[in-house]
Structure 1
Amino acid sequence: MQVLVIGAGVIGLAVARAAARAGHDVIVAEAATAIGTGISSRNSEVIHAGMYYPTGSLRAQFCARGNRLLYEFCESHGVAHLRCGKLIVATTEAERTRLEAIFAQGQINGVEGLELIGGNAARGLESELRCIAALASPATGIIDGHAYMLALQGDLEALGGAIAFETPVERLTPMLHAWRVHFGGREPGHLDVDAVVNCAGLSAQAVARRIEGYPATRIPKQVLAKGNYFAFSGRPAFTRLIYPTPVDGGLGVHVTLDLAGRMRFGPDVEWIEHENYDVDPSRAASFYARIRTYWPGLPDDSLAPDYSGIRPKLTGPGEPAADFVIEGPAEHRMSGLVNLFGIESPGLTSSLALGDEVVSYLDA
C-alpha cells in the first residue's frame, strides 16, 4: 500500500516510520523546508510518565506505553536523553489533595515508580524547594527532540520512505480505492495513493477542510493555547524537573532542564486568536509570583524571555480538556483516510505508540 503522511513533525515522522516498518510504501508531504519546524520545535522536550490523564483516555493509553517505547528507542538509536525524574509539588492543603488525586490516577494508568513524599523528603532531594508534599516520578525525563526526529527520519529513509519538502497539500480527492492528492509549492502536481494520514498539527483542521466530501461536522474546532517560556540567567537550582499542580489548560509554570544544563520556566497558558510566537516580557511578573510559591529563592531580574509554543487544543478556557482525536474510516466512512486532531502534550512522548495505532487504521 502506498501511504501519504501529511506533516513531518514528530507525530508525522513516527506514523511514517511505523507505516514503513509495516511494509507500506511511504511518502511524507511537508510544507516547510525541514522536519519538525512547527509544534515539534517549540515544546519542553519532556518525556512524560502519564499520571495526569483520565482513565481510558487515548492520552493515558499512549503516554504510558509511549514512555517505555521512547526510552527504548533512545537507547537503541543513540538519541540523547536523561531520565532525570520530576517532582510535582503541593504548597497548600488544597494542592496536597490534588496531588493525591494525581497519584491515584497515575496508579490507574500504570505509571511506574510513583511515590508520594512529604515536604522534608522533597527538600532532601532538592534543597531549594519549598512544599508540604510532593509526588516523585522517576519515569519522567528529557530528550533532544530534534535528534529524535532525525532518528525517525533515518529509519524511515532506510526503509525506503521519503520526505517531500516544500510540498503543501492543496486538495484531496477520493477515488475508487485510492486518493488523488493535489500539491502546491515549487513543483505543483498530483499523486495517487492508497491511503492518507493527516498529521499536520496546527494545520490539521485546515487540511481536513480540503478533503472533498469529508463531513464538515467531524472537523473539531481548534483553540490556540500559547505557552511562553522564560530562561533563568543563573546556574540551575534543581537537578529534577519541578512541577506545580496543574492549572486550566496546562501543567503549570514548571522548572524545565535541558541536556545542555540550562534551566528555564514555563509554559504558562495564553489563549490567543492567531498564531504568533512573540514572548511578552511583561508576563515575567506572573512567572516570578508563581515560581516563588515553590522556589522562594528565585532572584529578582533573573528571568528573560526565551521562546514560545502553541498547542492545538480542541477545547478552550473553562472547558474540560479534550482527548486526542483519531478519525479513521470507522468514524467518517471514507476508506484509506486517517485524521489526527488535537495532538498536543503528551504528543512527543506518545509518538511511537500513536504511530503503531494509526497504522492499524490503514487497512480498515
Structure 2
Amino acid sequence: MERVDAVIIGAGVVGLAVASVIARRDREIYVLEKETRYGQGTSSRNSEVVHAGIYYPPWSLKARLCVRGNAMIYRICRENNIAHKRLGKIIVAENEAEIEQLETLLKQGRDNGARGLEMIDEDRIREFEPLVRGEAALYSPSTGIVDAHGLMDHFYRVARRNSGGDPLVLDTEVTGLHPKGDGYVVETVSGGEPFSIEARVVVNAAGLYADRVAEMAGIDIDEAGYRVHWCKGDYFSLTGRPPARMLVYPAPPTDGVSLGIHTVPDLTGRLKFGPNAYYVDEINYKVESRVEDFWRDIVSYLPSVRVEDLHPDMSGIRAKLQGPGDPFRDFVIRHEEDRGLPGLINLIGIESPGLTSAPAIAEMVGEMVDEIL
C-alpha cells in the first residue's frame, strides 16, 4: 500500500487552498475529490462575495479568519490577475429597530477589524445607489466579489508548482478512514475501483460530507457537535438593466441562518438576487422557492424591481453546524489529537464566510501540518 505524507479530502476552495500551502517537493500529498472536476459543490454555488467580517462574534474563527482572508484574497487577486471587484456594500435599514441592529453590527465589525465601516444616512444611500430605499445603511468599502473558479485555479496551480507534480486525484470517493500506526488508512473508490492509501496526516475538507468523514474516523459526531445540516439557498436572476451596482443587503434576519436576500452582481455586470435559506434532507440544485416570496423581500429595499423580471437561476447548499433554531456556530478547525486521533485535522461547518476565509484557513491548517510532520 502506498504511503504519503498527507491526504486532503475534498477539492473545493478550502481543500485546494490547504494543498497550496502544505505542498512541498519533499512532501508527498494527495487531494482526493469524488467529482470529476474540482470545486463542484458549495465552492461553485455561492454569491462569490469577499466579506469584510461584520456579522460574526469577535471571539470567533469566522471573524478572525474572514478579516484576515479579506486582505489575503485581494492581495492574491492583484498579484495573480484573478478577476475581482471591490464594489463596496451597503446593509440597508428600513426603520429605527433595524438602525439599532446596524449600529450593533458596526461596533462588532470594528471590533473584528473590518476596515472602513461607517453608518450613512438616506442622502448618502441615494448617492451610492439612487434606486435603493432605506432610512440608513451600514457601508462596508472592503466588501467585493471574486471569480471563485479563478481563485481555485490559482490554488491548484500553486499546489502543483510547490509539489513538483499533480496532487489532485479526481473521481475518487472516500469510503473509509481508519487509524493505523502513526497515520491512517484512507479507503476509496477511484474510477469505480477500490483503492487504499496510507497517510501520516489527513485533512478533512469534505464540505457537505465532512461530518461523515469524521464519523469514519470513529468520532461520535453528535457528541462532538459535528453533525452538518444542509441548508439550501436559491437565486433568481434579473433581466433588464441592473438597478444597483453595489452589493445591497437588508438588515440580517434575526434567526441568524442567513444574511437575507441581497443583490448578487457578477463580474460580467449581470445581477442575481439571493440566497434565501431553508434546511433540506437531500442534495439537489433545483430552484424550489416561489418567485413572489423573493420579490417581496427585494422590493423592501429596491422597489423598482418587477416580479416578471425575476427568473430561477441556481441554488447552493451550505454545510451548517447550526441546525434549525440553534444559536450561532463557529467553524470547526481542529487537530483531533486529544481524541486519540493524532494527524487528523477536521474542517467542519465551513460555510459563509468560507470563500473569503479560505487562504487564512489554509494558513492555519498549514501551521498544524508543519507541527505534525
User: How would you bin the TM-score normalised by the shorter chain?
Assistant: over 0.9
Distance of 1:188 and 1:85 partners within structure 2:
48
CA contact (8 A) 1:208 1:219 kept: no
Alignment of 1:219-230 (within 5 A): 220-230=226-236
2:73 aligned with 1:70? yes
Distance of 1:144 and 1:275 partners within structure 2:
24
- Letter of the structure 2 residue corresponding to residue 342 of structure 1: G
Deviation at 1:331, TM superposition (A): 4.2
Identity of matched residues, %: 43
Deviation at 1:165, TM superposition (A): 0.5
Deviation at 1:23, TM superposition (A): 6.0
CA contact (8 A) 2:82 2:147 kept: yes
Choose which of 250, 264, 272 in structure 2 pairs with 1:256.
Answer: 264
Paired residue for 1:345?
Answer: 352
CA contact (8 A) 2:237 2:312 kept: yes
Residues 31/71 of structure 1: CA separation in 2 closer, same or farther (3 Å cut):
same
Paired residue for 2:55?
Answer: 52
Helix, strand or coil for the counterpart of 2:66?
helix
Helix, strand or coil for the counterpart of 2:132?
coil
Distance of 1:267 and 1:332 partners within structure 2:
37
Distance of 2:325 and 2:180 partners within structure 1:
42
Paired residue for 1:329?
Answer: 336
Helix, strand or coil for the counterpart of 1:194?
strand
2:187 aligned with 1:182? yes
Residues 219/32 of structure 1: CA separation in 2 closer, same or farther (3 Å cut):
farther
CA contact (8 A) 1:215 1:332 kept: no
Distance of 2:335 and 2:174 partners within structure 1:
19
Residues 60/36 of structure 1: CA separation in 2 closer, same or farther (3 Å cut):
same
Paired residue for 1:308?
Answer: 315
- Letter of the structure 2 residue corresponding to residue 96 of structure 1: I
Residues 81-90 or 182-191, more deviating: 182-191
Tell me the C-alpha RMSD between the 2 structures.
Answer: 1.5
Paired residue for 1:266?
Answer: 274
- Letter of the structure 2 residue corresponding to residue 251 of structure 1: L
2:171 aligned with 1:166? yes
Distance of 1:23 and 1:113 partners within structure 2:
42
CA contact (8 A) 2:337 2:343 kept: no
- Letter of the structure 2 residue corresponding to residue 2 of structure 1: D
Residues 22/340 of structure 1: CA separation in 2 closer, same or farther (3 Å cut):
farther
Deviation at 1:265, TM superposition (A): 0.3
Choose which of 213, 224, 238 in structure 2 pairs with 1:207.
Answer: 213
2:109 aligned with 1:106? yes
Distance of 1:328 and 1:90 partners within structure 2:
41
Question: What TM-score comes out, normalization by structure 1 length?
Answer: 0.96
- Residue segments in structure 1 that go unaligned for 5+ positions in a row: none
Paired residue for 2:305?
Answer: 298
CA contact (8 A) 1:218 1:332 kept: no
- Letter of the structure 2 residue corresponding to residue 304 of structure 1: H
What is the number of residues matched between the two proteins?
Answer: 362
Helix, strand or coil for the counterpart of 1:184?
strand
Distance of 2:17 and 2:195 partners within structure 1:
26
Choose which of 233, 236, 242 in structure 1 pairs with 2:239.
Answer: 233
Residues 286/24 of structure 1: CA separation in 2 closer, same or farther (3 Å cut):
same
Deviation at 1:288, TM superposition (A): 1.1
